[in-house]
Structure 1
């Protein structure tokens, strides 16, 4: 099925967010079920979230992707700030935007995210009951991922965050923290190498995806726990999709264990974390699960 993609902008706490709306070509003018699709940490809307949005539109949903505040084509200073509370509010404000559209059924709105957004979307849904169904693909709590990956370096970033704020106030350049090395070789850990292959090669590189975050993001992230209150989503449904070979699989498993009966864990055999960004047959299997899930839970 051919789909239509249009550029949109909507407000999020005083900042204009840049988004794309994907529509089935044969949309009849009625009110459609809609899904907000969020991008990974340091990613942008033109990458994996575009793939999922397009395929969900082919399945008959209106799908909205957007660049998080401070990132991509969206507004916000300093550039590259990873503010977890704002990231969650971006989802809530995306739902508000969809609720005002004449072609959306405001009682049939779901959210999903990939990687970091696979944690921010459930966090937003914990208290926003307009969201009727929630899903994460390779869902990852960014704080835990960075902190557990290198605890000493993370503590240093948190300690330096205050000084970074002062520097910005003095008009000095924003200090950025790269999340990927400049190159990889045989000694590079497999998890790092697969992120590099996605973000730093023609496979998916994009000029707006800078592969770094503002240093002072650390003191915001350090107090954030995306899944601590995941049970608040219940009895609304939560679907977490993860690859059996993903280093982040544990986030999905714990979220579903904590939410109980309204949760569903779908494991994609053989897939790594980044395989679920863009590689078939893994993405096709994930989309099949998402389509069934949202069809079941966003009924009229």
Structure 2
């Protein structure tokens, strides 16, 4: 990969173990940089690394920062049964495993690690940063911070549509049967976890040609999402953390996110005149990735604070 006014980048296919399963990942290395710092990237609800994580990772590597973009267990080409199972506990364990893996690699500096999460992964990044004080920095992009706020965005009617499938899948889990699946992103009025007008086209725009994206998730996760509040961990994050908040976010409302972000002792906040899915592409992407690159280079020991 040719550098964009910076380093040329080489992408490597890698894997790492997570509780006996395998997480598939890409390692982006800036050519000619000996043991660079590294940022670990994880995506949002049901998404895989192919859905524009490579765009962010490549830009960070062009700035001299190695990047590991991984896919959670049960999704994409990572292992884990049953498929499409979204377990918050397991995904957080995948983050722990990714950090542990980065610390063992000889081609990056395991003492200079940052985490970067987007959407549901943005919430994970907050929790992970609160649990890993050895990290140098964290980036939380359009983060899921409050399940009740996101449920209000779905609306009571949309929530009611999910209940029969959720109940059936909880029963399937009890009986050890295959999951009953819910659509992740659907059109307004459809039965899906996200039905804002920009949700379905937003997800579709992130899927590169030739890549299969399974737009479904085990329905049993819905109640755990509703009561999940990763934003509460912000006040426990002792490392510098950058919150990138979209003013017109239809999935993770900005008001609640900003309230949590202000509680982080070393938090920085950047707001964008954009929707939840806008920041992965075009001018919005260029603006946000520039801010994130500046933040990461500042806190990963590449320039003076």
Question: What's the TM-score once normalised by structure 1's chain length?
Answer: 0.86
Alpha-carbon spacing, 1:240–1:100, altered in 2? closer, same or farther (3 Å):
same
Alpha-carbon spacing, 1:244–1:146, altered in 2? closer, same or farther (3 Å):
closer
1:41-52 counterparts in 2 under 5 A?
Answer: 41-52=45-56
Match of 1:296 among 287, 295, 298: 298
Which stretch has the larger CA shift, 247-256 or 289-298?
A: 247-256
Question: C-alpha distance in 2, partners of 1:57/1:118?
Answer: 20
> What is the CA-CA distance between 1:299 and the residue it aligns to?
0.8
1:265 equivalenced with 2:272 (yes/no) = no
Q: CA RMSD in A?
A: 2.7
Question: C-alpha distance in 2, partners of 1:155/1:233?
Answer: 35
> What is the CA-CA distance between 1:198 and the residue it aligns to?
2.8
1:17 equivalenced with 2:23 (yes/no) = yes
1:26 equivalenced with 2:32 (yes/no) = yes
Question: C-alpha distance in 1, partners of 2:137/2:182?
Answer: 34
Partner of 1:237: 240
Question: C-alpha distance in 2, partners of 1:220/1:246?
Answer: 21
Partner of 2:214: 210
1:1-300 counterparts in 2 under 5 A?
Answer: 1=3, 2-27=8-33, 30-141=34-145, 143-144=147-148, 146-148=150-152, 149-151=154-156, 154=159, 161=166, 163-168=168-173, 172-181=177-186, 192-200=196-204, 204=208, 207-234=211-238, 236-247=239-250, 248-260=253-265, 262-268=266-272, 270-279=273-282, 281-299=283-301
What's the secondary structure of 2:109's corresponding residue?
Answer: strand
Which stretch has the larger CA shift, 78-87 or 239-248?
A: 239-248
The superposition leaves residues 14-38 of structure 1 with CA deviations (integer Å, 9 ceiling, x where unpaired) of 21100001111333xx211000011
> What is the CA-CA distance between 1:192 and the residue it aligns to?
2.5
The superposition leaves residues 112-144 of structure 1 with CA deviations (integer Å, 9 ceiling, x where unpaired) of 111111111111111122322111111123734
Alpha-carbon spacing, 1:41–1:203, altered in 2? closer, same or farther (3 Å):
closer
List alignment gaps of at least 5 residues for structure 1.
Answer: none
Alpha-carbon spacing, 1:130–1:208, altered in 2? closer, same or farther (3 Å):
farther
List alignment gaps of at least 5 residues for structure 2.
Answer: none
Question: What's the TM-score once normalised by structure 2's chain length?
Answer: 0.85
> What is the CA-CA distance between 1:209 and the residue it aligns to?
2.4
